[in-house]
Structure formats: structure tokens, C-alpha cells
Amino acid sequence: MTSNKLTYSRSGVNITKADSFVNFISSLSRKSRKSGDFKNIGGFGAISPIPRKLKRPNIVTSTDGVGTKIEIANDLKKFDTIGIDLVAMCVNDLVVQGARPYLFLDYISISKINLNKLKNIVKGIIKGCSIADCKLVGGETAEMPGTYTKDKFDIAGFAVGFVEKNKILNNKIRNNDLILAVPSNGLHSNGYSLVRYILKKKKINFQSSKFLKEELIRPTKIYVKELININEKNLINGCANITGGGLVDNIQRVIPKNLGAEINLNEIKTLSIFKWLHKMGVNEQEMLKTFNCGVGFCLIIKPKNLKTVSKYFGKKFKPYVIGKITKEFKQVKLSGKVSW
């Protein structure tokens, strides 16, 4: 008769495995953080002290996911980098405001707990936090049979940062400021629904292509350390994280209403994956609207700061001029053509 018992495990939820996973996260997190800074992974809430060095601290928050890049990870059965993407999508938005990321929480929902998969995801999250110099302080793992089909899952992140009031990047942009492109390292985590549609429509088995396997799973570049350094030196007037919506939409979000921007597409240094997508039939307008096209971040600076700002970036991510701020119109105007 015991086989007919109504239990949580029979409904598809395994609390024992969930507890084991929480213990794993707690153990991994302790190895990656300063002792005593953060408490209560596995508890009801994470307790975190406010940084003492800040005189007028402002809290900046951001939440995001990685979209359908998750399906690429599933197809490749590679889960150790998607957590880096998750952290990147959140913390890159924090530094747009001038904030230094401080703590991070994750949410993982899955059809059935697979400890190996979840451990690899969390390893990526902790690595992303290390790159961004913030700490994983808690989160939630939800086993949801019936909501997700077999092997499917989703992840979301939440980041908190702090910034001194006088370091907040708003209303500092001025006429004739330069707009710099900081290179991306690939697709980052945007446009994957279109990428997957192309793969399906053209019957491309990307798993048999070394180029596509590497490009489609490559983790998002985290720009935190470079941006924090140049902001502390008062070298930037504004910046934009180039995600969904491309150059126009994201630059428009940070420009004051009384100013506009001119972007010369001839200057953009695009990457092989974007050339491949264009070759597959995605027109330039759609490319610029959906993808970063090789520009992962934009900086808006005074012309006199160009050489100094450049010194804070490694060779692969050296910023270069693609436009300027103008008061002649109040929108983002594109000229030229991307070299595909």
C-alpha cells in the first residue's frame, strides 16, 4: 500500500536533492568570499552590511535573465558559462549608473533537479560574480514539474550595487562629447530567438560546427572593472550597455532630452558571428536592431579624455570613436554602412 502514498516526491519534487544543492552552493560560496561579509545562504534571507567607505551611498538595482541562450546551453549540454551571462546581464546595467556591484542573487526554475547541471550553472554564476567583484549571497531553486518540459529550465538574476551620489552617471553628457564603442566578445545574450530561428529554418546543425558552437555559447563580457576604474577618475560623462534594441535604442536611453547623437556605422568593427548572421539573410536594419554587432558597450566622454580612457582597457577591448553628441537634433542618427 505504500506505493499509493501521496507525497511531495511522487508529485515530482525532491526536497532532499534541493537541500543537497543548497549545501553545495553554500560551500562553494564560502570559498569565494571574504569571511564574515555575508550571512545566511540557505536561510530565509541574506544579511549584508552596507559599505562603510561611502559617505552618501545610493543603491542601484538590476534584474535580468539570459533569454533563449539557455536553449543553446541545453543543446550543447554545456552549463558552466550560462551563469556568467546571467551575472553580466545584471551587473553591466549597474555600471551604466556608475555603481559598483556589491551582491547578487539568482533564481533557477527547472523541471526536475539535476544536480550536475545545477552545480555547473552555479559555478558559472560564482565565476561571473568573481569577475564583477561582487558576491553571491542567496537565491532560490524551484523544481516545477508540469511547468517545464523534460530537461528545460530558466534562470534569472538580481544585482545590487552602490554609488556615491557625486559619481552617479546622469545629466553629465554635453554637446560635442565623443561616443566610444567598447568591443563585445560576440553575441552576448541577445538575439538568440532569431539565431535559433535561422538555425531551424536553414536546417543548420550548429553542433557540428566548431565556429558556431564556440560563438553561440561564448559568455557575455563583463565590463565592471574597467568602468569602475574610469568612473572613479571622472573620465566618463555617460555610458550605455548595448543589449536588445542595439545601438540606437540603448544610446537614446542615456542621452538628455535636449541632445542627440550621430553614429558613423563605417567605424564599427564587427565580428565574424555577425558577418555570418548577415550572410544568412538578416538585413542591416534588423542586425542593428537585434544585435550588438560588435559594440558591447558605449562610453560618452570629453574629447580630451580619449587617450586616458583607452589605457584602462586590454588590447581586445580597446574603445574607439564611432560618433559624437550633438545639439542639432534630439535623436540618434545613423550614417554610413557597417562593413559585413
Question: Which domains does the chain carry?
Answer: 2-167 (3.30.1330.10), 178-335 (3.90.650.10)
**Model's pTM, two decimal places?**
0.89
Bridge-based pairing state of the strands 153-164 and 57-65: antiparallel
Q: What is the pLDDT of residue 232?
A: 92
For 241-286, write each residue's pLDDT tens digit.
999 999 999 999 999 999 999 999 999 999 999 999 999 999 999 9
Which pLDDT value is given to residue 32?
Answer: 58
Would you state the pLDDT for residue 60?
96
The ranges of the chain with pLDDT < 50 are: 1, 34-36
